[in-house]
Structure 1
Amino acid sequence: MATHWTLGCDAADPQAIAAFWALALGYVPEPGFDEPDNASIIDPAGVGPAIGFLLVPEPKTAKNRMHVDVRVSGEPPWDMAERESLIRAKVAELVAAGATEVRSESYDGALGHVVMLDPEGNEFCVA
């Protein structure tokens, strides 16, 4: 049996970054974690881990050693045109929410993933 776990994240604005990641992942705010210094989001289906955000005084200074891959295209086998359409739609939604598109990576002529930065500069990919 897997161990239940929570991803903990440092943040300059816990409420704002929690709202961004809730949109990105289809999560909802966790009841009871809505203080100015912390926020938490949960999978409404109760399957994925909770993600907590804690206010810290220092800014992000280096590349992430780990990052999130937002997998909107599901599991293979893929219809490559549909997969690219799903990725591009999610990228546009997240850019509108404050993310920055960094670059696209293609493999054998097909879109593999898009590297992005969340509103606080944390790297992640949409695939």
Structure 2
Amino acid sequence: MATHWTLGCDAADPHALAAFWAGALDYVPEPGYDDPDGASIVDPDGVAPAISFLRVPEGKTAKNRLHIDIRVAGEPPWDLAERERLIRAKADELQATGATHVREQHYDGALGHVVMLDPEGNEFCVA
């Protein structure tokens, strides 16, 4: 059996960042977790790992060494036009909620993923 784990993240505003990621991942606030300097979100189905956000005084200063890939297009084989539509729709949705579009990565002429920043400048990809 796999070990259960939680992804821990530093944040200037843990509750705002948790709200952004809850929307991005279709997560919910962790029941019973109430901390003014922290927030935690969970998969409502209890399958994927929890993500916690803790307030820290320092800001982000370098590129992430670890990041989240939001995989909206499913698994291969893909209909490339539908895959691109799903990626672009999710990227647009996230941009409307505070993410920043950085760049697109194409492979053999097809959209591979969109690199974005969350509201605190953490890199992630939509694929």
TM-score normalised per structure 1? 0.98
Matched ranges for 1:55-66 at <5 A: 55-66=55-66
Q: Which residue of 2 aligns with 1:68?
A: 68
Tell me the CA shift for residue 22 of structure 1: 0.5
Aligned to 2:47: 47
RMSD of equivalent CA atoms: 0.6
Partner of 1:4: 4
Tell me what 1:24 maps to.
Answer: 24
Supply the distance in 2 between the matched residues of 1:36 and 1:86 (Cα, whole angstroms). 36
Consecutive unaligned residues in structure 2, runs of 5 or more: none
Secondary structure of the 2:15 match is helix
- 1:87-112: CA deviation from partner (whole Å, max 9, x where unpaired): 00000000000000000000011000
Structure 1: 4+ residue segments shifted above 4 A: none
2:105 matched to which residue of 1? 105
Checking the alignment, whether the CA contact within 8 Å between 1:27 and 1:41 is kept in structure 2 is yes
The count of corresponding residues between Structure 1 and Structure 2 is 127
* Residue ranges of structure 1 left out of the alignment (5+ in a row): none
SS in 1 for 2:16: helix
How big is the shift at 1:36? 1.9
Distance 1:40 1:76 in 2: 32
Q: Percent identity?
A: 79
Distance between the aligned counterparts of 1:88 and 1:49, measured in 2? 25
Partner SS for 1:18: helix
Q: Is 1:115 matched with 2:90?
A: no
